[in-house]
Structure 1
Amino acid sequence: MNAVPPTAAHTIRALSALAQEHRLAAFRLLVQAGPDGLPAGELATRLGLPASSLSFHLAQLANAGLVEARRQSRSIIYTAALPAMNALLGYLTENCCGGLPCDVAAACCEPEEARGAA
């Protein structure tokens, strides 16, 4: 999944990849790490996973287009594919404000309890 608007099939693949505890945790850590990413070994340590299990989970996220890997010396550094994440979020919220840009009708995207307090 890249920065182009995702199709329903891309969205389902991405959501399926994230619908697992360890993959979601890995993706969140990579989002927090930003563009520098994290080495696979550090990810495994932080998540308390064996390297082979982490490798499987990262492959699922990469297949969904949500993470990217690059070799740096002897390490593989993983980063979250932020354009793909933003495209996914955009697809999911595309019609959240009845077709209006969210900055025009921002209140519709607020939790109901926040709207009631205003």
Structure 2
Amino acid sequence: MDTQHALDALAGLAQKSRLALFRELVQRGPAGATPGELADTVGIAPTTLSFHLKTLLQAGLIQAEQQGRSITYRADFDAMQGLVGYLTDNCCAGDASQCAPACAPARKRA
């Protein structure tokens, strides 16, 4: 991932509702979710939801698949891995084993 794509992805996530949507799609895995499911789960009004999904699409973090009259949104796991890789690429002068504790505690979803 290059710097511009990383900036676009980070800008896409830099809002509470979009971050919640992205995390929900990550949690749902390859099955993804429809806008209605996302609106119910994340608690975002449909008009606002559409705006946030469009922003995440433009940031390259999610994908949309048209199925008849409905759309299924999925997290783009390659893009997510690319962003994480970009952020940690030069961690500890290239020795990533020095960057994190051997056993990080699991975090609860906020």
Which TM class, normalised by the smaller chain length? 0.7 to 0.9
| Count of aligned residue pairs for this structure pair | 104
Offset from partner CA, 1:57-106 (integer Å, 9 cap, x none):
00000001000000123221000000000000000000113213x3xxx2
SS at match of 2:93: coil
Q: Residue 40 of structure 1 contacts residue 78 of structure 1 at CA under 8 Å; is this kept in 2?
A: yes
Q: Which runs of 5+ in 1 are unaligned?
A: 1-5
> Match for residue 74 of structure 1?
69
Task: Using the TM superposition, name which of 25-34 and 39-48 deviates more.
Answer: 39-48
Q: Secondary structure at the match of 2:53?
A: helix
Measure, in 2, the Cα distance between the counterparts of 1:98 and 1:109. 13
Aligned-pair identity (%): 49
* Residue 29 of structure 1 pairs with residue 20 of structure 2: no
Shift of 1:110: 2.3
Of 58, 62, 65, 2:60 maps to: 65
Larger radius of gyration: 1
Distance 2:79 2:8 in 1: 12
When the two structures are superposed, what TM-score results if normalisation uses the length of structure 1?
Answer: 0.81
Q: Over aligned residue pairs, what C-alpha RMSD do you find?
A: 1.8
TM-score by length of 2: 0.87
Distance apart, 1:18 and its partner CA: 0.2
1:109 alignment partner AA: A
Secondary structure of 1:79's counterpart equals strand
Residues 96, 109 of structure 1: 8 Å contact kept: no
1:86 and 1:97 map into 2 onto residues whose CA distance is: 19
1:109 aligns with 2:107: no
